[in-house]
Amino acid sequence: EKGNHRHFMQKEIFEQPIVVAQTLKSYLRRIDDCVSMPDMEFDLAGFDRVSIVACGTSSYVAMIGKYWIEKFARVPVETDVASEFRYRDPVLGKNQLAIFISQSGETADTLAALKHCKAAGLKTAGIINVPTSSMAREVDLLLPTHAGPEIGVASTKAFTCQLAVMAAFATRIARAKGVLSAAEEKDIVHHLSEAPEAMNFALGHDEDIEAMAHKIAEARDVLYLGRGPDYPMALEGALKLKEISYIHAEGYASGEMKHGPIALIDDHVPLIVIAPSGPLFDKTVSNMQEAQARGAQVVLISDADGIAKAGEGTIATIEMPKVHPLIAPLVYAIPVQLLAYHVAVAKGTDVDQPRNLAKSVTVE
């Protein structure tokens, strides 16, 4: 039931601190500050390549997972949308782990990719929300998310729970590979367990975001920019906005702006910039300022330091708490989701059942 919420999507956005905490609880062992995983019949140290395959919003978790696994475990990762994976006849090696991410566990393309990898003799792992689903039954290693049933067609809480599991898994692979010390693991566990509180704080901006949504709702096109893990977050922001508000939106890696999309910029195009302060911040801000010089209406999502440095000349800023880069995607997902939600409500669309979309895509 929706409780006091107007839509399931809104309820599911607000549930995130609780369901992410619930999910983390089954992967973080607080007695010794270790990541703990279900028993597995294979040794993670034996893999020297990882493939991650998923569709839609789940595929953005794959992309963020690539940053994390490569950074922490120093294992090369390739990511594919499932509908492309089989048809490019991927080179599959024995020492390759294949990870599949799905809320429903029934998405036809992802399930077919999973069967393809199994037939090729690969070990498979699945980050899956529905424990009784086809994919949950097929994978060698099931890493469940504990988001509970997701009713809104647009994925929200499943996404952040998938991120939580992916972060834990990246840490576990890094430990198995011997490239992460116990102290570093402890540090990661601490940061991850701070995520739900930071997400709660982010939810506190609901009303400010609602207030600015009316302006965005008038736009015909919206661009999202981010760098590093915030690039998949920009893709997610654009997908969420287009699917529920029907406004055309695109996400770009900040550095790609000048390779084409900047031609779209004029003073009617809102530009949503996702840029926590940190080593990548100045570069993203310089891309943002190039767009501002051409009239872009910038909404900057950053922390207090970032906003103090670059908030001038924007039409709005959304201030996130200052968080460790590892948990930033979990926290920054919230303003991105709330913005799409409030724009859709302002436009009067059917938020929980957007046109032409199904919750579970069981045909290719």
* Minimal CB distance residue for ligand F6R: 56
Whole-angstrom distance, CA of residue 290 vs CA of residue 271: 12
Sequence letter at residue 267: D
Q: Cα–Cα distances in Å, from 35 out to 132, 165, 184, 188, 282?
A: 24, 10, 11, 9, 33
Closest CB to ligand F6R among residues 154, 253: 154
The active-site residue, picked from 115, 283, 309, 359, is 359
Instruction: Point out which residues bind ligand F6R (CB under 6 A).
Output: 55-58, 102-104, 107, 110, 154-155, 239, 243, 360-361
Closest CB to ligand F6R among residues 180, 344: 344
Concatenating the DSSP letter of every residue in 279-309 gives TTHHHHHHHHHHHHTTT-EEEEEEEHHHHHH
Sequence letter at residue 327: I
Least distance between ligand F6R and beta carbon 186 (Å): 31
Residues with Cβ within 8 Å of residue 149, at least 6 apart in sequence: none
Least distance between ligand F6R and beta carbon 59 (Å): 7
Least distance between ligand F6R and beta carbon 279 (Å): 30
Least distance between ligand F6R and beta carbon 239 (Å): 6
Whole-angstrom distance, CA of residue 111 vs CA of residue 53: 10
Closest CB to ligand F6R among residues 289, 360: 360
Whole-angstrom distance, CA of residue 33 vs CA of residue 224: 36
Encoded tokens for 89: 């006849």
Question: Is 359 an annotated catalytic residue?
Answer: yes
Closest CB to ligand F6R among residues 22, 360: 360
Q: What residues act catalytically? A: 359
